[in-house]
Structure 1
Amino acid sequence: MLCRMPVAPFKVLSRTGPERIDNEGTMKKTLLGTTALVTAGLLAGPALASDPLKVTVGGNVVTGFYFVDADNVGGTSFQDTKVALVARNIDIKAEGTLDNGLVAGVDAKLQLDNDWNGTGGSYASFRQLFAYLEGGFGKFEIGGTDGAAYKMHYTSPWFVPGNGVDSPNILNIVPYYGERHSTFSLLATDANKVSYFTPRLAGFQLGLSFTPDANNKGPNENGLVLAPKTDAYIRDVFEIAANYAGTFSGVDLGVDGFYTTGKSDSENVDPKEYGFGANLGYAGFTLGGAWYRSEDIWATFYPDSNNNENTTWTLGLKYATGPWTVGTAYLDGDQDWGGYYYRVKTLQVGGGYNLGSGVDLGLDIQFSNYKNNDNNQDYDSKSVGLVLAIAF
């Protein structure tokens, strides 16, 4: 499967996914445990001070061909077939062990544009770029990346290659208004921040993050100017998260909880997120779920004081044996916007087969429903697709 972050040696954490292959807005990651930090950098032999960091280059691409049956919205009908091309990532990493035992590195996530016709000008840009130091004290990260609440979160498992119901890369649904399809903290995702993760002690780990400007979604600042403070976005975002990973009598257990809060100059706006997740793994089965709540946030990170609240939860079951993986998962998201309710639900069924060398073939079946009490809309969409995911 696709991986982004190193994880603790815990079977349930086989993937740190919704592989933040976000497709211009959707999220990433399923089992996001965290980094094993207790002895990192202390067991390997020290390199010479003059030795350069070792550079590795990889990436991933997720593609899919779908047949879609979706309701019309007024006079608008939707395509009955779809080719999805997501992920489009080139990952560049430089890391080395210093002569004092510390591990230092840089992690860069290059995202390729999807405008192949060049009408908007094809390009590639760094979605994430950050530096880190780790050792027996834990791990420090600084730069454009996800925060502690995101990286330490557990949720429903992904079983279709490169896609899941929580923070999907491919979601075949009638366009909806403002609902989120994720239990992850997205308030400051990819923004420039500083984070600290403690060593994992007796299975427990704590993470903290601070983001001065949540509007800066990527490593774009040149350090020469100060960003203006406005009421349109959220700043001074603080995240605290904790999780536990352990094994008892052959049963793998992972649980987490997080709290995120920020500031806005808008009157009566107090944006915050909080939630928890859990995974149980036994004999090839993984049962996972999560619950999320936000206040004064519209969609992912826009501040809104109109009694705006979102509640999202998910539950899923996966079974893996040899190269085969099968499963089912459900997600339910409910947005309350000053007495108006918007709800989106998705059930996913499917599986995958590993062909070897990072090549996975899968079947993805989705059933989605969107409704609101604003203008009594109620739309369904159903789809089935063949997915090909390649990591290199």
Structure 2
Amino acid sequence: MKKILVASSALVAVAFAGQASASEKISLSVGGYMEQWMGFADQDNYAAGGRPNAFQSDTEVHFSGSTTLDNGIEVGAKIELEGEGGNSGTMVDEQYLYVNGGFGQVKLGAEDGPQTDMLTIAPSTGPVNAQDGDLGNWVDIDGNVKANIYGYSDAKKVTYYTPVLGGFRAGLSYTDDDTSENNDTANGGDSRYAAGVEYIGDFDAVSIKVSGMAEGDSDDGRNYHVGANVGFGAFSVGGSYGAANDEYNAGVGATNRATDGYDFGVGYSMDAAEVTLTYFHGEDEGGATITNAAGTVTSRGESTLDHVHLGLAYTLGAGVSWKSSVFWFENERDLAGVADNEGYGAVTGLALSF
């Protein structure tokens, strides 16, 4: 069997080499985005030191390029640089190569995988979306409530996507454990396997997107998410649900805990404007203990977060959008020495894409 695999790999390599000679060398183009926000928030309680609630920003510069071989296979690369520091204190966010063909797509490198690429959430726009975790930039909340419900790490992995067949597409990925030589991979040190499936269809004036994904590791960790959106005319409506068990969250936030959350929302688009109203509810069931920055060990109980968000996006021109958010939140935290928090805020600013 080993000889067969070696021979097969050699034949594939020769085929690629023979077909690539006439293709053009890859040239990288520059893209990305810049978002600059200003706003305020009023809240009942602050963490130690408080939070200024004045300005926030998010900037990334993307380099991407591809070439098509003589056999019709496309090979490309993408590198995303953080404007304010990336994962593990580095400037690199995602970096991967991809191969596209009649067989589908293969990605190899540091990227999200099917959990994010195929994610479906409730309609939401504006700088403080109910699902993306940006609420914590403006107010003091327990960030564990949203852990591993909507966001996934850009760990090094291999991902495969099937071709789109009748609106359906599936994806699979494998992430190595952190005992590998370059160990910036999965949380908790375990290998992780993920799978996702989505359906996107248009029927006259109605559009539908439905997706589901699941991820597991070798230590019985489980994480999954399902969502659906329906568009009809200028309106859209949808929602989603995600959950992760104790084993999956091991090593995240210094405590094991089960988390889950759901959202639902509606949106309306008219010419260059889009308005959405979204609600999110999340729960963190807590774990045995947690140690704060001062070294104090306290018991951790359940934490819940409710977030209502009204968002506006207005396209001013090519690559320029004005976005605003008005939000209310309530975070109940059963943690010794930490008070519940509740409040509201408003944020506005410009989002540039290039």
State whether TM-score is above 0.5: yes
Q: Please tell me whether residue 208 in structure 1 is matched to residue 172 in structure 2.
A: yes
Taking a change above 3 Å as real, the CA distance of residues 333 and 103 of structure 1, as seen in their structure-2 partners, is same
1:302 deviates by 2.4
The amino acid of 1:378's aligned partner reads: D
- Give the Cα separation in 2 of the matches to 1:298 and 1:70: 32
Matches within 5 A, 1:1-392: 49-73=22-46, 77-79=50-52, 81-86=53-58, 88-113=59-84, 125-160=91-126, 163-169=128-134, 171=136, 172-176=138-142, 178-180=144-146, 183-184=149-150, 186=152, 189-213=153-177, 226=181, 233-264=188-219, 270-296=220-246, 302=252, 306=256, 308-338=257-287, 340-375=301-336, 377-392=339-354
1:346 deviates by 1.0
1:336 deviates by 0.7
Between the aligned residues of both structures, percent identity stands at 24
- Give the Cα separation in 2 of the matches to 1:83 and 1:147: 31
The amino acid of 2:340's aligned partner reads: D
- Give the Cα separation in 1 of the matches to 2:185 and 2:76: 34
Alpha-carbon contact 1:234-1:262 (below 8 Å) kept: no
1:305 deviates by 8.1
Alpha-carbon contact 1:167-1:183 (below 8 Å) kept: no
Taking a change above 3 Å as real, the CA distance of residues 138 and 380 of structure 1, as seen in their structure-2 partners, is same
The amino acid of 1:263's aligned partner reads: S
- Give the Cα separation in 1 of the matches to 2:206 and 2:187: 46
Q: Which runs of 5+ in 2 are unaligned?
A: 1-18, 288-299
Taking a change above 3 Å as real, the CA distance of residues 349 and 137 of structure 1, as seen in their structure-2 partners, is same
Higher mean alpha-carbon deviation, 105-114 vs 292-301, is at 292-301
- Give the Cα separation in 2 of the matches to 1:373 and 1:337: 9
The amino acid of 1:332's aligned partner reads: H
Match of 1:329, SS state, is strand
1:55 deviates by 2.2
1:313 deviates by 0.5
Alpha-carbon contact 2:61-2:82 (below 8 Å) kept: yes
Q: Runs (4+) of structure 1 moved beyond 6 Å?
A: 228-232, 298-301
The amino acid of 1:167's aligned partner reads: D
- Give the Cα separation in 1 of the matches to 2:166 and 2:140: 46
Alpha-carbon contact 1:364-1:387 (below 8 Å) kept: no
Match of 2:116, SS state, is helix
- Give the Cα separation in 1 of the matches to 2:31 and 2:251: 30
Higher mean alpha-carbon deviation, 294-303 vs 147-156, is at 294-303
- Give the Cα separation in 2 of the matches to 1:185 and 1:390: 23
1:73 deviates by 3.9
Deviation readout 1:271-300 (Å, 9 max, x if unpaired): 210120111111121212110010025769
Taking a change above 3 Å as real, the CA distance of residues 170 and 55 of structure 1, as seen in their structure-2 partners, is farther
Q: Which runs of 5+ in 1 are unaligned?
A: 1-45, 116-122, 217-224, 265-269
- Give the Cα separation in 2 of the matches to 1:228 and 1:96: 31
TM-score scaled by length of structure 1: 0.74
TM-score scaled by length of structure 2: 0.82
The amino acid of 2:305's aligned partner reads: V
Match of 1:373, SS state, is strand
Match of 2:115, SS state, is helix
Match of 2:335, SS state, is coil
Instruction: Give 1:21's aligned residue.
Output: none
Alpha-carbon contact 1:297-1:303 (below 8 Å) kept: no
What is the number of residues matched between the two proteins?
A: 320
Deviation readout 1:31-83 (Å, 9 max, x if unpaired): xxxxxxxxxxxxxxx9972412242101111111102111124876543x410
Alpha-carbon contact 1:363-1:386 (below 8 Å) kept: yes
Taking a change above 3 Å as real, the CA distance of residues 62 and 351 of structure 1, as seen in their structure-2 partners, is same
Instruction: Name the larger-Rg structure.
Output: 2
Deviation readout 1:166-192 (Å, 9 max, x if unpaired): 114454222326221663252xx2000
